Structure 1
Amino acid sequence: MDLLMVLVLKDTLEKRGALGQIKARIRAEVFNALDDQSVPRPALSRENLLINELIREYLEYNKYKYTASVLTSEAGQPEVPLDREFLAKELNIAEDTNGKSVPLLYGILSHFLHGGKAESTQHTLPSVSLLNYPKAEPGQ
Protein backbone atom coordinates (compact mmCIF):
# COMPACT_ATOMS: atom_id res chain seq x y z
CA MET A 1 0.00 0.00 0.00
CA ASP A 2 1.31 3.41 -0.77
CA LEU A 3 1.21 6.30 1.70
CA LEU A 4 -1.59 8.14 -0.11
CA MET A 5 -3.84 5.09 0.03
CA VAL A 6 -3.16 4.65 3.76
CA LEU A 7 -3.98 8.32 4.44
CA VAL A 8 -7.20 8.16 2.41
CA LEU A 9 -8.25 4.96 4.17
CA LYS A 10 -7.51 6.48 7.59
CA ASP A 11 -9.46 9.64 6.70
CA THR A 12 -12.43 7.60 5.47
CA LEU A 13 -12.48 5.46 8.62
CA GLU A 14 -12.29 8.59 10.81
CA LYS A 15 -15.17 10.27 8.95
CA ARG A 16 -17.33 7.17 9.37
CA GLY A 17 -16.48 6.97 13.07
CA ALA A 18 -15.05 3.51 12.59
CA LEU A 19 -11.42 4.28 13.41
CA GLY A 20 -12.16 5.02 17.06
CA GLN A 21 -14.20 1.83 17.33
CA ILE A 22 -11.41 -0.20 15.75
CA LYS A 23 -8.84 1.26 18.13
CA ALA A 24 -11.10 0.59 21.13
CA ARG A 25 -11.68 -2.99 19.98
CA ILE A 26 -7.94 -3.57 19.59
CA ARG A 27 -7.28 -2.13 23.07
CA ALA A 28 -9.95 -4.38 24.56
CA GLU A 29 -8.57 -7.47 22.82
CA VAL A 30 -4.99 -6.65 23.87
CA PHE A 31 -6.13 -6.12 27.45
CA ASN A 32 -8.01 -9.43 27.46
CA ALA A 33 -5.00 -11.24 26.01
CA LEU A 34 -2.65 -9.75 28.61
CA ASP A 35 -5.02 -10.07 31.56
CA ASP A 36 -3.50 -12.64 33.88
CA GLN A 37 -6.44 -14.74 35.07
CA SER A 38 -4.16 -16.81 37.30
CA VAL A 39 -3.73 -13.92 39.74
CA PRO A 40 -6.85 -13.86 41.92
CA ARG A 41 -8.62 -10.53 42.24
CA PRO A 42 -9.73 -9.24 45.61
CA ALA A 43 -13.42 -9.75 46.34
CA LEU A 44 -15.62 -7.09 44.78
CA SER A 45 -17.16 -4.94 47.52
CA ARG A 46 -20.88 -4.10 47.44
CA GLU A 47 -20.07 -0.43 46.86
CA ASN A 48 -17.73 -1.16 43.96
CA LEU A 49 -20.24 -3.56 42.44
CA LEU A 50 -22.93 -0.86 42.48
CA ILE A 51 -20.61 1.88 41.21
CA ASN A 52 -19.37 -0.36 38.40
CA GLU A 53 -22.95 -1.19 37.42
CA LEU A 54 -23.83 2.51 37.21
CA ILE A 55 -20.80 3.07 35.01
CA ARG A 56 -21.52 -0.01 32.86
CA GLU A 57 -25.12 1.09 32.31
CA TYR A 58 -23.85 4.53 31.23
CA LEU A 59 -21.17 3.06 28.94
CA GLU A 60 -23.58 0.65 27.26
CA TYR A 61 -26.22 3.37 26.79
CA ASN A 62 -23.64 5.56 25.06
CA LYS A 63 -22.51 2.58 22.95
CA TYR A 64 -19.02 2.35 24.49
CA LYS A 65 -19.27 -1.43 24.32
CA TYR A 66 -15.54 -2.15 24.24
CA THR A 67 -14.90 0.12 27.21
CA ALA A 68 -17.75 -1.62 29.04
CA SER A 69 -16.28 -5.03 28.25
CA VAL A 70 -12.87 -3.98 29.59
CA LEU A 71 -14.50 -2.60 32.77
CA THR A 72 -16.44 -5.84 33.27
CA SER A 73 -13.36 -7.97 32.78
CA GLU A 74 -10.90 -5.85 34.73
CA ALA A 75 -13.22 -5.20 37.68
CA GLY A 76 -14.35 -8.81 37.95
CA GLN A 77 -17.93 -7.63 37.44
CA PRO A 78 -20.51 -10.34 36.69
CA GLU A 79 -21.00 -10.80 32.93
CA VAL A 80 -24.76 -10.36 33.28
CA PRO A 81 -25.65 -6.81 34.41
CA LEU A 82 -27.67 -6.33 37.57
CA ASP A 83 -31.37 -5.74 37.04
CA ARG A 84 -32.03 -1.99 36.83
CA GLU A 85 -34.88 -2.10 39.35
CA PHE A 86 -32.65 -3.99 41.78
CA LEU A 87 -29.89 -1.41 41.29
CA ALA A 88 -32.29 1.51 41.85
CA LYS A 89 -33.65 -0.16 44.99
CA GLU A 90 -30.14 -0.81 46.36
CA LEU A 91 -29.31 2.87 45.83
CA ASN A 92 -32.65 4.06 47.27
CA ILE A 93 -33.55 5.83 44.04
CA ALA A 94 -37.20 6.52 43.30
CA GLU A 95 -37.58 6.74 39.53
CA ASP A 96 -40.37 8.29 37.56
CA THR A 97 -41.40 6.52 34.35
CA ASN A 98 -39.67 9.14 32.16
CA GLY A 99 -36.29 8.45 33.74
CA LYS A 100 -36.27 4.76 32.91
CA SER A 101 -35.15 5.41 29.34
CA VAL A 102 -31.72 6.71 30.40
CA PRO A 103 -29.03 5.43 32.76
CA LEU A 104 -29.49 5.96 36.50
CA LEU A 105 -26.28 7.99 36.54
CA TYR A 106 -28.01 10.77 34.59
CA GLY A 107 -30.71 11.05 37.25
CA ILE A 108 -28.16 11.05 40.07
CA LEU A 109 -26.13 13.77 38.37
CA SER A 110 -29.26 15.78 37.58
CA HIS A 111 -30.32 15.59 41.23
CA PHE A 112 -27.09 17.19 42.39
CA LEU A 113 -26.94 19.73 39.55
CA HIS A 114 -30.55 20.86 39.93
CA GLY A 115 -31.31 21.44 43.55
CA GLY A 116 -29.99 18.51 45.54
CA LYS A 117 -27.43 19.40 48.17
CA ALA A 118 -24.86 16.79 49.18
CA GLU A 119 -24.91 17.76 52.84
CA SER A 120 -28.70 17.47 53.12
CA THR A 121 -29.28 14.45 50.91
CA GLN A 122 -31.66 11.92 52.40
CA HIS A 123 -31.48 8.22 51.69
CA THR A 124 -33.90 8.61 48.80
CA LEU A 125 -33.16 10.67 45.74
CA PRO A 126 -36.27 12.38 44.39
CA SER A 127 -37.76 11.51 41.03
CA VAL A 128 -36.30 13.71 38.34
CA SER A 129 -38.17 15.15 35.40
CA LEU A 130 -37.29 14.09 31.86
CA LEU A 131 -36.44 17.74 31.19
CA ASN A 132 -33.14 17.15 32.96
CA TYR A 133 -32.17 14.13 30.87
CA PRO A 134 -30.41 14.08 27.49
CA LYS A 135 -32.80 14.90 24.67
CA ALA A 136 -31.50 12.54 21.98
CA GLU A 137 -29.94 9.14 21.64
CA PRO A 138 -26.15 9.22 21.74
CA GLY A 139 -24.42 9.67 18.43
CA GLN A 140 -27.21 11.77 16.89
Structure 2
Amino acid sequence: MATIAELKAALKETLEARGVLGQLKARIRAEVFNALDDKSETRPALSHENLLINELIREYLEFNNYRYTASVLVAESGQPEVPLDRQFMTNELNVVEDPSSRSVPLLYGLLSHFLKSSGEKGDKLFLKSSAAPTTSR
Protein backbone atom coordinates (compact mmCIF):
# COMPACT_ATOMS: atom_id res chain seq x y z
CA MET A 1 0.00 0.00 0.00
CA ALA A 2 1.30 3.45 -0.92
CA THR A 3 2.11 5.95 1.78
CA ILE A 4 0.62 9.42 1.92
CA ALA A 5 3.98 10.90 0.84
CA GLU A 6 4.08 8.59 -2.19
CA LEU A 7 0.53 9.53 -3.16
CA LYS A 8 1.34 13.23 -2.84
CA ALA A 9 4.45 12.80 -4.98
CA ALA A 10 2.53 10.84 -7.63
CA LEU A 11 -0.25 13.44 -7.70
CA LYS A 12 2.23 16.30 -8.00
CA GLU A 13 4.08 14.51 -10.80
CA THR A 14 0.84 13.84 -12.67
CA LEU A 15 -0.36 17.43 -12.36
CA GLU A 16 3.03 18.74 -13.51
CA ALA A 17 3.08 16.35 -16.49
CA ARG A 18 -0.36 17.57 -17.56
CA GLY A 19 0.67 21.22 -17.15
CA VAL A 20 -2.07 21.73 -14.60
CA LEU A 21 0.07 22.45 -11.54
CA GLY A 22 1.47 25.69 -12.96
CA GLN A 23 -2.01 26.82 -13.96
CA LEU A 24 -3.34 26.08 -10.49
CA LYS A 25 -0.52 28.01 -8.83
CA ALA A 26 -1.10 30.99 -11.15
CA ARG A 27 -4.84 30.86 -10.52
CA ILE A 28 -4.31 30.80 -6.75
CA ARG A 29 -1.95 33.79 -6.98
CA ALA A 30 -4.49 35.70 -9.07
CA GLU A 31 -7.32 34.91 -6.63
CA VAL A 32 -5.20 35.88 -3.61
CA PHE A 33 -4.30 39.16 -5.31
CA ASN A 34 -7.96 39.85 -6.12
CA ALA A 35 -8.96 39.10 -2.53
CA LEU A 36 -6.31 41.46 -1.16
CA ASP A 37 -6.89 44.20 -3.72
CA ASP A 38 -8.80 47.08 -2.19
CA LYS A 39 -11.44 47.93 -4.81
CA SER A 40 -12.44 51.07 -2.90
CA GLU A 41 -8.97 52.57 -3.35
CA THR A 42 -8.94 54.76 -6.43
CA ARG A 43 -6.06 54.34 -8.83
CA PRO A 44 -4.48 57.17 -10.75
CA ALA A 45 -5.57 57.35 -14.37
CA LEU A 46 -3.45 55.36 -16.81
CA SER A 47 -1.22 57.45 -19.03
CA HIS A 48 -1.63 56.93 -22.75
CA GLU A 49 1.81 55.28 -22.90
CA ASN A 50 1.05 52.89 -20.04
CA LEU A 51 -2.27 51.97 -21.60
CA LEU A 52 -0.54 51.00 -24.86
CA ILE A 53 2.33 49.17 -23.14
CA ASN A 54 -0.05 47.21 -20.90
CA GLU A 55 -2.13 46.25 -23.93
CA LEU A 56 0.94 45.01 -25.83
CA ILE A 57 1.87 42.91 -22.81
CA ARG A 58 -1.68 41.62 -22.32
CA GLU A 59 -1.92 40.58 -25.98
CA TYR A 60 1.41 38.73 -25.65
CA LEU A 61 0.35 37.01 -22.41
CA GLU A 62 -3.00 35.87 -23.77
CA PHE A 63 -1.45 34.64 -27.04
CA ASN A 64 0.91 32.45 -24.99
CA ASN A 65 -1.93 31.22 -22.76
CA TYR A 66 -0.69 33.09 -19.68
CA ARG A 67 -4.30 33.99 -18.92
CA TYR A 68 -3.97 34.18 -15.16
CA THR A 69 -0.93 36.41 -15.43
CA ALA A 70 -2.90 38.60 -17.84
CA SER A 71 -5.80 38.76 -15.39
CA VAL A 72 -3.45 39.90 -12.63
CA LEU A 73 -1.99 42.55 -14.97
CA VAL A 74 -5.46 43.89 -15.76
CA ALA A 75 -6.54 43.89 -12.11
CA GLU A 76 -3.36 45.47 -10.79
CA SER A 77 -2.84 48.06 -13.51
CA GLY A 78 -6.41 49.23 -13.88
CA GLN A 79 -6.28 48.36 -17.58
CA PRO A 80 -9.79 48.20 -19.10
CA GLU A 81 -11.29 44.70 -18.93
CA VAL A 82 -12.07 44.77 -22.65
CA PRO A 83 -8.88 44.65 -24.75
CA LEU A 84 -8.16 47.58 -27.01
CA ASP A 85 -8.99 47.09 -30.67
CA ARG A 86 -6.05 45.81 -32.74
CA GLN A 87 -6.64 48.46 -35.44
CA PHE A 88 -6.59 51.18 -32.77
CA MET A 89 -3.29 49.83 -31.48
CA THR A 90 -1.67 49.76 -34.93
CA ASN A 91 -2.84 53.31 -35.60
CA GLU A 92 -1.51 54.56 -32.27
CA LEU A 93 1.85 52.84 -32.81
CA ASN A 94 2.03 53.93 -36.45
CA VAL A 95 2.36 50.31 -37.58
CA VAL A 96 1.28 48.76 -40.86
CA GLU A 97 0.64 45.03 -40.81
CA ASP A 98 0.68 42.42 -43.51
CA PRO A 99 -1.83 39.55 -43.29
CA SER A 100 0.66 37.11 -41.74
CA SER A 101 1.60 39.50 -38.93
CA ARG A 102 -2.01 39.72 -37.77
CA SER A 103 -1.84 36.18 -36.41
CA VAL A 104 0.73 37.07 -33.74
CA PRO A 105 0.87 39.76 -31.05
CA LEU A 106 2.05 43.20 -32.09
CA LEU A 107 4.96 42.86 -29.69
CA TYR A 108 6.40 40.06 -31.83
CA GLY A 109 6.20 42.24 -34.93
CA LEU A 110 7.83 45.19 -33.19
CA LEU A 111 10.65 43.01 -31.90
CA SER A 112 11.12 41.39 -35.30
CA HIS A 113 11.32 44.81 -36.94
CA PHE A 114 14.03 46.03 -34.59
CA LEU A 115 16.01 42.80 -34.76
CA LYS A 116 15.97 42.85 -38.58
CA SER A 117 16.52 46.56 -39.01
CA SER A 118 19.60 46.76 -36.82
CA GLY A 119 21.57 47.14 -40.03
CA GLU A 120 25.30 47.50 -39.77
CA LYS A 121 27.04 46.86 -36.50
CA GLY A 122 27.15 49.93 -34.37
CA ASP A 123 23.85 51.30 -35.66
CA LYS A 124 21.79 52.17 -32.63
CA LEU A 125 18.30 53.46 -32.25
CA PHE A 126 18.24 56.73 -30.38
CA LEU A 127 15.40 56.68 -27.88
CA LYS A 128 13.95 59.76 -26.31
CA SER A 129 11.01 60.09 -24.02
CA SER A 130 7.98 61.79 -25.51
CA ALA A 131 6.76 62.64 -22.03
CA ALA A 132 7.10 61.28 -18.55
CA PRO A 133 4.33 58.83 -17.69
CA THR A 134 1.70 60.34 -15.42
CA THR A 135 1.68 57.25 -13.23
CA SER A 136 4.52 55.33 -11.67
CA ARG A 137 3.86 51.63 -11.90
Please, what TM-score do these two structures have when normalized by structure 1?
0.82
Count of paired positions: 120
Query: Is residue 112 from structure 1 mapped to residue 120 from structure 2 by the alignment?
Result: no
The residue identity in structure 2 corresponding to 1:104 is L
Report the alpha carbon displacement of residue 115 of structure 1 after superposing the two structures with TM: 1.2
Indicate the structure whose relative CO is greater, using CA pairs within 8 Å and at least 6 residues apart. Answer: 2
Q: Distance in 1 between matches of 2:27 and 2:48?
A: 29
Find the structure with the greater CA-based Rg: 2
Report the alpha carbon displacement of residue 20 of structure 1 after superposing the two structures with TM: 0.3
Q: Distance in 2 between matches of 1:118 and 1:97?
A: 27
Seq. identity, %: 68
- Aligned match for 1:97, one of 96, 99, 105: 99
The residue identity in structure 2 corresponding to 1:34 is L
Partner of 2:130: none
Aligned counterparts, 1:118-137, within 5 A: 118-119=125-126
Aligned counterparts, 1:1-140, within 5 A: 2-116=4-118, 118-119=125-126
Please, what TM-score do these two structures have when normalized by structure 2?
0.84
Question: What RMSD, in angstroms, separates the aligned Cα atoms of the two structures?
Answer: 1.4
**What stretches of structure 2 of length at least 5 have no aligned partner?**
119-123, 128-137
Partner of 1:123: none
Dislocated runs of 4+, deviation >4 Å: none
